[in-house]
Every structure is written in structure tokens, then in C-alpha cells.
Structure 1
Amino acid sequence: MKLNKIIGALALLGLAGAVSAQEVVVKIGHSGPLSGSQSFSGKDNENGVRLAIEELNAKPITVGGKKLKFELVSEDDQADPKSGVNVAQKLIDSGVKFVVGPYNSGVTIPASRVYSEAGVLVATVASNPKITAQGYKNLFRVNASDSQLGSKMALYAAKELKLKNVAVVDDRTAFGQGVAEEFEKQAKASGMKVVGHEFTTDKASDFTAILTNLKAKKAEAIFYGGYAPQGGPMARQMKQLGINAKLLGGDTICVTEMGKLGGDAVGENVLCAQGGAILDKAANGPAFKEKYKKRFSQEPDVYAASFYDGMMMYADAMKKANSIDPAKVGAEIYKGSYKGVAGTYTFDDKGNMKQSPVTVFTFKNGQPAPLTSY
């Protein structure tokens, strides 16, 4: 009897080995600011990837005759270029071949070289045009670029708001400079006068001097190239100084944190441009928002849907390529098309989306509220 039990146990062990042999673990890296003033964005993005992975693992896809099990490896790059490079090497050393992120352009530019040398695929929302101009064939921008965000905000200011005099402030980060330059270029092309261009940093909290200077120049709107931790206090200080100009910006101030930090100084006077269509009007947008809220007990912020789409795009390409080889998966992404929550992902030879709608938002009750997409 004991012999039969031993044989039975060995048979079960053998069966377990056979089952596990039919499953392959694929590590998915996430790089983002999980600490510091931008951590609200980093966690939101991470949640988007996590939601996709949990859905894929609940209904596993089969590639090469084996079921894939995705494992999230998330690292805090602190929105810092040096940390981002260290994170890239850490993810590579741990066997990651697919990364969703980084979030910040300043992190993505140096980190992308490290990923490229290791043959790791990267899907990023970082918007500086220099990122895709580097010529890396393993990198995809799953969002609008600065040229689209900055220029369309300027077009909206000229055509819809009918503004004549505008000013620019940038925080000297790769993102802030890039989006501010694109806004300024299009503003001038649209017939607006740029009455001043001031500079700050992504660590600053007092903008009184530069705002006082711009008030004297009678700017009707100030475009801020930077992030919400500075944008919120800037809006407060504009109100305190009696500046009635509108505060314009890119996707990084299109966040609930902007309303929290700016309080009653953030309302319809603040407008921002964000990549992607209006989520509520997208075919799968409402369903995504419901799933996200059920899982994380909060509304998705700016790029949760894009990070979710980036992960789902990888999985779709793996199925089409019938491989988890990043080179083959990347080739499939380039030649194919994936319809996600936030948009349809088809790419040019540089890794930019061929069509990326931009939505202009304002704020109502402290929350970003979409106005129009174009």
C-alpha cells in the first residue's frame, strides 16, 4: 500500500513538472517615479501595466505551444536621469526583455540607449522628439510627442481662445523645454506674440519674481512647460498676484494632483493638452475606467490607459509573432496595428504613432475635464 502511495505521489510530481514545463514566465519591466513629487503619476502608470498583466494571467495566451505567465518588475527611477539608467541596467540584469515606461523624457533619453544595446523593447509615453530621433528600432512612443502637445495647445489658444499675447515658462527639464519650444514655435506661426520666456526648475516652489515680470508684460496666457507639483503652486501665486491670464500646459499638468495643489486657483482658467482621445467617448474607455476603479479604488489618471495599452500591445504582438523574442515581437509591432483603449497603435519607422489624437482639458471641481479632441 505504501509503495502504491509513493508511486502515486511520484506520478503527481511528474504531472506537475509537465504542467510547469508548458508555462513560460515573461518578466515585464516598469520604470517610473514611484517616490517624490511625481509619484502619483508613477503609481498610476504602474497600475495600468498591473491591470493588463492581471487580465492576461487570468486568461493566459499561448505562444509557441506554451502558456505565458507575465510577471511585473517595477522600479523607481525617481524621475532622475541617472537613476533611470541604473534602473535600466537593473531590469536588464534581472532578465527583463520588455519595458513599459519610462514616464519622463529626461529619464528616457539616456536610458533608451542602455535598453537598445541590450535588445530590450520599450513602450514609453515620454514626449520629447529627441527620444525617437535617436534611431533606436526597439523603442515605441505610445503617445503624442511634444511637437503635437505643444503645437496643438498653441493652435487652441489662437483659434479658440483668440489670444494675442502669450508668455512661456519652462522648468529646464527635457520635457519642459521640449513642449515649451513647440508651443512657442506654433504660437508665433499662428500670429500670437510671445511677450516673455522665463525659466524655473522642477524643484522650485516660488514663482513670484517671474510671474510679476510677466504680469507687467500683459500676457493673456502663460504656457508652463513642466509638471503639476510646480503647476499647482504657480496657479495659486498667479491668483495671489492678481494675474488674470490663463495657465496653459502639456499633459503633465492634466492630472488630479494639479487640482489638489492649486485648490480654487485651478479651474476653467487652466487648460492643458494630453495625448489620446477623450476616454469617456472611446469605445472601450468607460469599461476601462470601471475596471481600473474597481481594482484600485480610484479613477485612472493621465496615462494609466496608455500603459495598459502598451502591455496589451506587447501581448498581441507576441501572439502574432508566435514568439517572445523581442526582435520578432518588435518587428510585428512595426508592421501591424493594435487597437487599444486610448488609441490605435500603428508606428512610423522612428517609432512614433502615425496618428495620435490630442485632447484639450480644463478643470472642473479640481478634476481635469475634456473639452475637445483634434
Structure 2
Amino acid sequence: MDTQQNTALTRALAEVPGPLPTSGVIHITLQHTDRFTVVGNHLAQHPDLSCTAVGLAVRIQSLPQGTEVSIKALTARCQEGERRIAAALRELEAHGYLQRFRHRLPGQKVITRTVFCNQPAALLRPRSQSSQTPVAAAAQAPIPAPARPLTHVSDPDPGPDPAPVPPVPPTPPAPPETSAPETPAPLPVPPPPPPAPPFVPLVPPPTAPKPPRPPLPQPGTLTPELDRAATALLSDLRRHVPQFTLSEGDIRHLAPAVATWLERDAHPDTIRRTLTDDLPQPLRHPVKLLKHRLTALLPPPLPGACDLAAPARPRVVVTPFQTCDDCDRAFRSPDPGHCRDCRETREHRGEDVRAAA
């Protein structure tokens, strides 16, 4: 009775249309009528900005025009310290949301101006002619010359009435010379800037297709002994965990996966402990949990005796020691005989004997 219940939130949750998701956040969207700020997902879900930078950008965007947004002013408004706020401002400045530059006033005073753009990617797009402001369009439109009014000038000192003159038919006015308007030479169109890289949100939309689930493991050969042992193990799970009271159809569907574990020499107690330990509370879908654990926690086959044998080391042939027949000196050689010095001495003596002969 001491737990406070939010009945308004519960009542609003019951009015959400459509089936509610089994996991994740549930949005209750109410329309704002005053005191709200529009924030784009390109900022709220930016993959390279920290949460501090995103929150600080929303705070700056919600402030009215002309509000001081220096580091000390933001520190007085927020709970973060000056170092975190300075680092967040550098992040926003690196991604184009914020720009700070120095401006010199007429009185030789230098001030720092801060400009915040709620959508910096839109500044990189080429502006079309249709987006021209009405003031600029009116400035380019030709202004017609005002018509000169006809005024009647009376003679201040009229003379005697002249003799009547027969009326002369009026001469039609000559048509005004119309000159073809000179078309200005077309200005060279600058190449459009490269398009901004597409923004990829971290959170996929709720309608995104889910990847297919991996299939249940299948044994190499489903023998009757393996099938009987797997069926008995699945039927016996309800003695240890009452939530695992499975139907006959579920047992027949999961038996090949358990037979794969038994085929890989997994002990039945090990399989039972793996399937029943550390269960989520509450357990709503026991069959789905068994499918996931039988597939994701499948052990590899046991290695054979040949795989566990240590690799044979390469045999090193060692040349034995021999004793020289002349000087009894030890030397390495596969066959007994004389050492190198004695062989050279014998060869030198043989050459002397041949030379004397």
C-alpha cells in the first residue's frame, strides 16, 4: 500500500492504439500547445555526439534570441561543470551546430558572437531559384515608367477671334519604337557542393525487418537411442522447473537439438543445468528461451585422440665425437680417422715425398 501508483500514466497507456511491444520503450505522445521546441532526429540520434552535447544543444535551441550562452552562463543554468560544458560546445562546433567568432564594434570593442544552427546539413544543399525571397524577386522585376499626364495650357492674353479653320483630321500617333530587350549574358553556374553524408540513426525504425533467427541444430544421425534420451530429458524438465511444462509438439520440435548436444558427448545433467539456470523473471516464453539456449550455447564436438596428441618435434642429428689416431684430439665426425690438422700435415708430407722422388 505504500507504493505510489501513477494512475494517469496507466490510464494513458491503456489508450495507446495498437498492440504494445513486448520489450523496449513505449511512447505516449501528447500534443504540445505552448512552450515547446522542435528538435530533429539528426541531433537527437547523432552517432558522434555525446549525450551531454545533445542535451546542451537542445537547451541552447530552446532559449530565446539574444540569451547569453557563454560557458559561465551555461554553467549557472545547468548542473554540469565548466569542463563538461566546454567539451560539449567543442563537439557542437566540430559538427557545425555551433559557431563562435569575434566581432569588432565601432567603439574598438571586441565581442564574441555565438551562432547556433538547428540543421547544419541544410546549409550545404544548393539553393534553388524557387527559394528566392520576395524582396529579391521584386528588386529584379522591371519597374514601368509612369505615364506623363496631359495638361492644357491657356493663353494669358488672347487676341481677336481668328477665322474659322476647317477641322483637320487628327493624325494617328506614331507607334512607339519598341526595342527588343537585351538579354543579359548567363552567369556561370558554380558547381554544387558535395552532398552531405547521409545520417544513419543508431536506433532502427520500428518497422525495420528483423534478421532471421538461426535454425535449431540438427544431429548427424538421429538414432532411436538419441531421440529417446532427448525426449526423456525435455519431459523431465518440469520436475526441476514447473514453467518448463512442454507440450508433445514442442518436445518433438526440440528433441533433435537436444540430440545434437548428446551426440557431442554433453552430459544430461550439464544440458539440464544450462537450460534451467539463471532464468528471467517472469518467464513468459519458455519454448523460445529453450530454442535460444540450445542454439546459442551449443558446445563444439569433442576433439579426437589424434587432435590432442602433441606434434612431433623435428629430430636433430648430432654428429658424434671421434678421437684422432695420431694426436688423440677429440673432433666431430661421422667416421673415425684423423683431425683436420693431422690430415693437413699428412697431405703436406706426401707432397714433399713426391717432390723428392
Normalized per residue, the structure richer in helix is 1
| TM-score of the two chains, using structure 1 as the length reference | 0.20
Normalized per residue, the structure richer in strand is 1
Determine which structure has more spread, i.e. the larger CA radius of gyration: 2
User: Larger RCO: Structure 1 or Structure 2 (Cα < 8 Å, ≥ 6 residues apart)?
Assistant: 1
| TM-score of the two chains, using structure 2 as the length reference | 0.20
